[in-house]
Structure 1
C-alpha cells in the first residue's frame, strides 16, 4: 500500500483491531481509530504518532448505536477527511443458547457485526471509487467456513455473511481500484476469549492452533493489496477449511457438535 493514505479501523482499542492500526501506521498510513474505550484509543494514537510520525485521530463510538456509522462518516466529511482503507474489525461473542439472551442483546450484536460494517462500506465506497483507490478489510473468521455450533449462535452466521459480502464487493470493485477482502483468522491471541468468558476452555487448544494478532493483520493487508477476496490465515486453518468443504454436511455438523461439547462453559453455553 502506498503511504499518505488514511485508514479507519473499528474496534481498534485491542486485539486484532489494534494490530491493524499498528501495521497500518508502520506502513505510513494516517489513522482514524474508533472503539468504545476512549482512553485506550488515545494512548494507542499517541504512541503511533510518536513512533511513526503519522496523524492519528480518535473517534470514540459504540457501533451498537444504529446511527453510529452515519454519524461517524458525517463527522469525517465535515472535517474534510477521506478514508482510503476501511478495516471493519469491531466484534465480540455472545455465549449461550439463542433463546437465553434478550432480543436486545442479539439486536446489538447484529448491529455491530453485520449492519455497521455493511453501512460503513456503503457510505465510504463512493469516495473510494471516485478517487480510483480503496481497500476494505472485513475481519471474518474461520468460523464462517465451518458449520455453526450450539452456543455463540449468531457468531459463525455473522462471519459467513461477511465472507459472502466481501466476495460480492470484490467482484463489484473490479476495474475501479477498490479491493475488498474477508480476512479469516482462527484462534488468535487477543482479549476476545476473556470477554466471552471462555479463556480457560480455549486454552486447552494446542499451541500450533494459535496465531498472533500482528501476523493476522499483516497477512490481511497484504491479501487485500493483492486483490484476494477471501484470505484464511495460517496453514492449519486453511486445512480445516478444506476438510469441512469436502465433508458431507451431516458428518461435518456432527463433528462440530462433538467438538462443541468440549468447549461448553455450561449446559447451555458455548
Structure 2
C-alpha cells in the first residue's frame, strides 16, 4: 500500500473533505486526513481501510495555528510519505459583519481559508516538481464570482483569491513543463454540514431544492477537472449558469441582488 500515491485532504472530518477521501480511496489512493476532530478522522480512516484496502494517516491539527502546516508535513515526513495530491478543503463561515466581529476571528478565518492553503501549496510543490507529478485542488466557491455582500465579509474575497491563485499556479506549472495540475473547485449550495456550522441551516432549508447539489457530484467534478488539467471548474448546470450570469449582469443590479440575498444566507439571526 505504501507504493500507492498519497492524497492529503484538509477539513477531512466531514462534508466535502470526507467525500474527497472516499473518492480518492475508491481510486486506490492512500489518504492523509487532517482536521481538528481526530475521532471523526479515525472513524473515516477505519472505514476506508476496510472497504478499499488502502493506507491512511490521520493528523489532528488546527490550521489557524501558525505552525499548523509545518506540523502536518512533518508528520507525513516522519511516516515516510509525501504528497502526490493536495486537496485544500478546510473552511467555515464567519457570520456577522466586519463591524461586529473581532480581528482575532477574522485573522483566524484568513489563516484557515487562505494563508494555510497557499502555504501548503508552496511547501508541497518542490517535491511534486522533483517527482514530476502533482495534483492540487483548492476548494473555492461560486461566491468568488459574485459581488460582495453584507455579512461573511471576507468569504467571497478569499474564494475569489483562491480562484486566481489556482489559475496562476496551474499556468506556471504548465509553462515550466511540469506534470502538475492545479484546479479551483467552485461549488454553489452543497448539502454538507457547512450551514449547520455557521448557523444558517434554517435559511438554507427554505431555499428551493433545484439550487442544491450533493457532495458526491461536486467532488467528482473536482477530481475529474484536476486530472484533465482544468484550472477552474464550476460543478452543475445551475451553478454554471449562475457563474455566467455574474459576468453578464450589470454590476449595480448584481450588488442589489446580493444585498437582498445576504439577508437570508449571510447575516446572523438578529442582524
Q: TM-score, normalised by structure 1?
A: 0.96
Instruction: Tell me how far apart the structure 2 counterparts of residues 61 and 239 of structure 1 sit (CA, whole Å).
Output: 37
Instruction: Tell me how far apart the structure 2 counterparts of residues 183 and 102 of structure 1 sit (CA, whole Å).
Output: 29
The CA deviation at 1:251 is 1.7
Give the CA RMSD over aligned residues: 1.1
Instruction: Tell me how far apart the structure 1 counterparts of residues 250 and 237 of structure 2 sit (CA, whole Å).
Output: 22
Instruction: Tell me how far apart the structure 2 counterparts of residues 261 and 152 of structure 1 sit (CA, whole Å).
Output: 11
The CA deviation at 1:79 is 2.7
Q: Which range moved further: 252-261 or 181-190? A: 252-261
* Map 1:1-270 → 2, pairs under 5 A: 4-174=4-174, 175-263=177-265, 264-268=267-271
Instruction: Tell me how far apart the structure 2 counterparts of residues 262 and 86 of structure 1 sit (CA, whole Å).
Output: 33
- Structure 2 residues not aligned, in runs of 5+: none
3-state SS, counterpart of residue 173 of structure 1: helix
Q: Between Structure 1 and Structure 2, how many residues are aligned? A: 266
Q: Kindly report structure 1 stretches of 4+ aligned residues shifted beyond 4 Å.
A: none
3-state SS, counterpart of residue 59 of structure 1: strand
Q: Which range moved further: 203-212 or 247-256? A: 247-256
3-state SS, counterpart of residue 168 of structure 1: helix
- The Cα offsets for residues 30-89 of structure 1, whole Å up to 9 and x where unpaired, read as 010000000000000000000000001101101110110012112222332111000000
- The Cα offsets for residues 177-207 of structure 1, whole Å up to 9 and x where unpaired, read as 0000000100111100001110010111111
3-state SS, counterpart of residue 180 of structure 1: strand
Does the 8 A contact of 1:201 with 1:265 survive in 2?
Answer: no
Instruction: Tell me how far apart the structure 1 counterparts of residues 42 and 201 of structure 2 sit (CA, whole Å).
Output: 27
Instruction: Tell me how far apart the structure 1 counterparts of residues 39 and 183 of structure 2 sit (CA, whole Å).
Output: 30
Q: TM-score, normalised by structure 2?
A: 0.96
Instruction: Tell me how far apart the structure 2 counterparts of residues 266 and 199 of structure 1 sit (CA, whole Å).
Output: 11
